[in-house]
Amino acid sequence: MHLAALLTWALNAEAAPPPPPDAAECVGSWEASVVEVGTGEPLPGVRVELTRAGVRGVLTARTDAEGQVRIEALCPGDVRITVNDEEHAEARLKVTLDGGETTTEIALDPLHARHGPLVRQVVIGGHGGHQTGSSASESLAGDALARTRGKGLADTLSEMAGVSTLRGSAGGMGKPMIRGHQGRRTMILVDGIRHEGQDWGIDHAPEVDPQAADRLTVIKGAGTTRFGAKALGGVVMLQSRPLPQRPSVRSEVSTFGGSNPLGGGGAARVEIAPPRARGFAIRVEGNVNRHRAIVTPTYALDNTGSLTWNAGTLLGYSSDAFDLGVGYRLMRSKGGICACLRISTPEEFEQSVARGRPVDADAYRADFAIERPRQEIWHHLAYLNTRVRLGRLGELHGIYSFQYNDREEYGVVRETVVGPQLTFGLATHAVDLRLEHARLEVGRWSQFGTLGANFNHQSNDFEAASTLIPDYKHNSWALYNVERLTRDRVELEIGVRYEGMVRDTTLSERDYLGQVASDRLDTEACAAEGSGGACQHPFHAVSGTLGALLWPSVRLPEMTWRSQLHSSARIPSIDEQFMNGAAPSFPILGVGSSTIGIERSWGGESTLAYDGDWLFLEAAGYASFIDDYIYFVPQPQQGQCAPLSCTTRGPLPVFAFTPTDALFGGGELRFDVKAPRLPLSIAGSASWVRGQNLVDREPLALVPADRYVATGRYHLPESRVSSRAYLELGGTLVARQRRTPLEIEFAPPPPLYFLLGAGAGAEFATERRVVRLSVVGNNLLNQRYRDYTSLLRYFADEAGWSVQLRLSIDLDVELGESSGEVAQRRRRGRLGSSRQRG
């Protein structure tokens, strides 16, 4: 459908508003009760926004403890209502006020899995705490998430305070860094399933599809007791909303296009809950995204084009007592690596850094073709989840998942060579069981809790002509318990987790002999086997958290204070133990040590937040000491090229994973101010991260620089056609990272940079359709810049200016009612129903 036709369609669906009445007539009131779909539970603390056609400004209110909200002094006429809550899908409806008392019932679709009444937690004041407990977190959902469609995971999250991107060398690839931790110290969960990929690789972006998520949440701190030892630095959760629980057809179609990199894509999702099979529902979704190479202000980053597509389906049954879901997701990704990354002599590397421009940049072109070097990935995820209500005991939730991560890396080789140079196959079976026990009343306290167990079997098959990481198999298991005690304005959380693992590693002959020769093999755990060697390492890790969520003031229920103390233990990853090879494109050799043991952190964090109707303010601070922090440091070598190691490509420094002691600390500030009577708002954040190597008494490498973001927004008045239209202008300032370890850096950190951004957007909503249109401009001053946490910074600049356009259409149709009921519902509103009282 053409855009013009679409707009006409949206326009015609709206009735013309009546002329604004006199102020004297404005004595009506509107009252609503907000409940959850499925459970019918009232939802307290939900934000309700009311906008009137032709009137600037928004009336905001929150539901009380019974899920009720009331707004008075309203004129007769149509009003638009938007209902927002972190845990539920946004609802919007149109209500016709007649000047008297109007009552509406609004039912919100939950974004979380269904919970029975005995385990359901009372959310005090409505302000979060539901899933992230006493940890600091930030979520992206609704239209804020819609404005990021088409971006990779790291870029989608990069505007969150305290979250930055470790950018790789390929087009748009990167991995999220949470408060300075990435990869091995962060965990990604896709609908509760731990993502398993080759995430140790510094240029391996996580193989997950952010477009399949309806909410993205980042836990900015240790999530170890709930999620696992790897979550020491933080957790990224991608959550899709549950399948529809009422007979309906929900669909979403979206498309996006960008100027730099030039390209675009589209996504579609259909969910059907048929009326004849109550409780059953199916979702089918897919998306594709293709772009050509990125262009910097002065040259193209040759060969950074990419092609990604995703497909997924979920079939589910849901009832009060039992849920079952079977799903499958597939990701295919092909991404070129910038031709600017090349193997050079150490002298040339330094010259290239000093020149600030790739030596062959004049020949670079922005093409769609993806040549060598490139990465090609298939990622499969098949899963089965269930929820069983166990009477007075509580509820049992279970997930079985199988993932297969198939990664191929193609180097620049002579033409006679075909096929990839590195192939990784990572297969993971995981079972996750958790019992959410029924609420216990302990004096004046209510106690909720989860008892959980995990089992995970993983095997890795690596093939290449050179050594890098060995094949391994591991079995790991975990037991955990997180309990929450709540009363009045206090919520306490205590969690403990034990995690065990046995890792069996098989070393090829050359790998084994090389590691024995360089004295890096753990002689107690490793022995010769066949022509190579085999190692077996058991690990045991215990983590604990103690947290509190307080509402410090009775008069200020919008204010919360979260604090957490934690001690977390992390099991070393495969590369930290056994890496033995060249880092791609960097003039270094990397080696692990199989004697490395558990890394343990001791830390605390605290977040004070005020979430009022026109002001949101949050300040967070954290610090953690990491004992035996596994760090990648240069290691002097013996031999002909001492202190370097002789290779055919010249003498190279050897970097080894070595335990040290580290101290991390920092803070974030976030604010969002909506001027009460003016159509203006301003939002912003500041993030600071510090990392210190306590043994060498110098800063840690790869700690993100200080970052400041601010965006001002002008809200256009509601019109007959459009709603929530805005124009915005903003900027990001990233300081120069002055705290760097001189010995480890390959190049001086890049200077401060400022990126100017602007955007505009509007929604064209009818009762069943929402059309969202947005345009975003990035780096509009076409600033040449490099980022300290981007691997590209040693070789080339980052992207120049770009404009992106996004259009999405959500369409909901309820099924299973007589045509009279459907017509009646259509009058009532899209996701809610309205009862008029005269």
Q: Cβ closer to another protein: 21 or 643?
A: 643
Q: Binding another protein by CB under 8 A: which of 418, 442, 554, 742?
A: 418
Torsion of CA 371, 375, 376, 379, to 10 degrees: -160
Q: Is 213 helix (H, G, I), strand (E, B) or coil?
A: coil
Beta carbon of residue 87, minimum distance to another protein (angstroms, whole number):
30
Q: Does 356 bind another protein (CB under 8 A)?
A: no
DSSP state of 361: G
Full 3-state SS string of 478-504:
EEEEEEEEEECCEEEEEEEEEEEEEEE
Q: Cβ closer to another protein: 545 or 645?
A: 645
652-671 footprint of another protein as x/- string (CB under 8 A): --x-----------------
Instruction: Scan residues 115-144 and list those touching another protein (CB under 8 A).
Output: none
Instruction: Scan residues 93-112 and list those touching another protein (CB under 8 A).
Output: none
On the 0-12 / 13-18 / 19+ scale of CB atoms within 10 A, 554 is exposed
Q: Binding another protein by CB under 8 A: which of 17, 57, 425, 731?
A: 425
Q: Does 518 bind another protein (CB under 8 A)?
A: yes
Q: Cβ closer to another protein: 289 or 711?
A: 289
Q: Does 282 bind another protein (CB under 8 A)?
A: no
Q: Cα–Cα distances in Å, from 685 out to 619, 644, 710, 732, 754?
A: 10, 44, 6, 10, 15
Q: Cβ closer to another protein: 99 or 411?
A: 411
Q: Cβ closer to another protein: 424 or 629?
A: 424
Q: Cβ closer to another protein: 553 or 647?
A: 647
* CA–CA distance, 672 with 687 (Å, rounded to integer): 15
DSSP state of 644: S
593 φ, ψ (degrees, to nearest 5): -140, 125
* CA–CA distance, 183 with 576 (Å, rounded to integer): 12
Beta carbon of residue 149, minimum distance to another protein (angstroms, whole number):
22
Q: Cβ closer to another protein: 464 or 623?
A: 464
Beta carbon of residue 50, minimum distance to another protein (angstroms, whole number):
45
Q: Does 412 bind another protein (CB under 8 A)?
A: yes
Q: Binding another protein by CB under 8 A: which of 645, 687, 732, 802?
A: 645
Instruction: Scan residues 363-402 and list those touching another protein (CB under 8 A).
Output: 363-365, 367, 378, 380, 382, 402
Q: Cβ closer to another protein: 66 or 360?
A: 360
| C-alpha closest to that of 653 among 700, 588, 607 | 588
Q: Binding another protein by CB under 8 A: which of 582, 695, 716, 822?
A: 582
* CA–CA distance, 198 with 207 (Å, rounded to integer): 9
Q: Binding another protein by CB under 8 A: which of 18, 56, 355, 680?
A: 355
Beta carbon of residue 762, minimum distance to another protein (angstroms, whole number):
36
CB 707 within 8 A of CB 684: no
> Which residues, other chains included, contact 327 with Cβ-Cβ below 8 Å and sequence gap of 6+?
191, 312, 313, 314, 315, 381, 382, 383, 384, 385
Q: Does 651 bind another protein (CB under 8 A)?
A: yes
Q: Does 500 bind another protein (CB under 8 A)?
A: no
Beta carbon of residue 319, minimum distance to another protein (angstroms, whole number):
24
Rounded to a whole number, what is the largest CA-CA distance in the chain? 94
CB 709 within 8 A of CB 598: no
* Token code pair at residue 233: 């630095």
152-158 — which CB contacts under 8 Å span 24+ positions? 152/205, 152/210, 153/188, 153/205, 153/206, 153/208, 153/210, 153/236, 153/238, 154/205, 154/206, 156/210, 156/216, 157/216, 157/218, 157/236
Q: Does 638 bind another protein (CB under 8 A)?
A: yes
* CA–CA distance, 462 with 581 (Å, rounded to integer): 13
Beta carbon of residue 706, minimum distance to another protein (angstroms, whole number):
33
Q: Binding another protein by CB under 8 A: which of 73, 413, 440, 823?
A: 413
Q: Binding another protein by CB under 8 A: which of 247, 264, 420, 547?
A: 420
* CA–CA distance, 63 with 72 (Å, rounded to integer): 14
Q: Cβ closer to another protein: 392 or 414?
A: 414
CB 762 within 8 A of CB 724: yes
| C-alpha closest to that of 493 among 454, 447, 541 | 447
Choose the stretch contacting another protein; rule: CB under 8 A; options: 7-15, 155-163, 509-517, 699-707: 509-517
Beta carbon of residue 284, minimum distance to another protein (angstroms, whole number):
11
Q: Cβ closer to another protein: 328 or 671?
A: 328
Using CB under 8 A as the binding criterion, the count of chain residues that bind another protein stands at: 75
447-486 footprint of another protein as x/- string (CB under 8 A): ------------x-x-xxxxx-----x-------------
* CA–CA distance, 671 with 681 (Å, rounded to integer): 10
Beta carbon of residue 537, minimum distance to another protein (angstroms, whole number):
19
Q: Cβ closer to another protein: 98 or 360?
A: 360
Q: Does 529 bind another protein (CB under 8 A)?
A: no
Q: Binding another protein by CB under 8 A: which of 641, 756, 781, 805?
A: 641
Query: CA 592 from chain center: how many Å?
Result: 29
> Which residues, other chains included, contact 594 with Cβ-Cβ below 8 Å and sequence gap of 6+?
505, 515, 520, 521, 522, 525, 526, 535, 537, 577, 578
* CA–CA distance, 253 with 211 (Å, rounded to integer): 11
Q: Cβ closer to another protein: 30 or 578?
A: 578
Q: Cβ closer to another protein: 404 or 477?
A: 404
Q: Cβ closer to another protein: 413 or 527?
A: 413
Going across the sheet that includes 137-141, the strands are 137-141, 215-219, 234-239, 186-190, 193-194
321-350 footprint of another protein as x/- string (CB under 8 A): -----x-x-x-x------x--xxxx-xx--
Beta carbon of residue 140, minimum distance to another protein (angstroms, whole number):
29
Torsion of CA 334, 335, 341, 344, to 10 degrees: 0
Q: Binding another protein by CB under 8 A: which of 213, 591, 765, 796?
A: 591
| C-alpha closest to that of 289 among 313, 310, 314, 259 | 310
Beta carbon of residue 328, minimum distance to another protein (angstroms, whole number):
5
Q: Binding another protein by CB under 8 A: which of 266, 274, 514, 712?
A: 514
Beta carbon of residue 185, minimum distance to another protein (angstroms, whole number):
24
Beta carbon of residue 658, minimum distance to another protein (angstroms, whole number):
13
Q: Binding another protein by CB under 8 A: which of 646, 675, 752, 823?
A: 646
Q: Does 532 bind another protein (CB under 8 A)?
A: no
Q: Cβ closer to another protein: 286 or 741?
A: 286
CB 404 within 8 A of CB 380: yes
Q: Binding another protein by CB under 8 A: which of 56, 540, 649, 720?
A: 649
CB 543 within 8 A of CB 513: no
Choose the stretch contacting another protein; rule: CB under 8 A; options: 190-198, 206-214, 645-653, 759-767: 645-653
* CA–CA distance, 506 with 373 (Å, rounded to integer): 28
* Token code pair at residue 730: 């903003």
Q: Binding another protein by CB under 8 A: which of 647, 675, 676, 751?
A: 647
Specify the amino acid at residue 234.
G
CB 429 within 8 A of CB 477: no
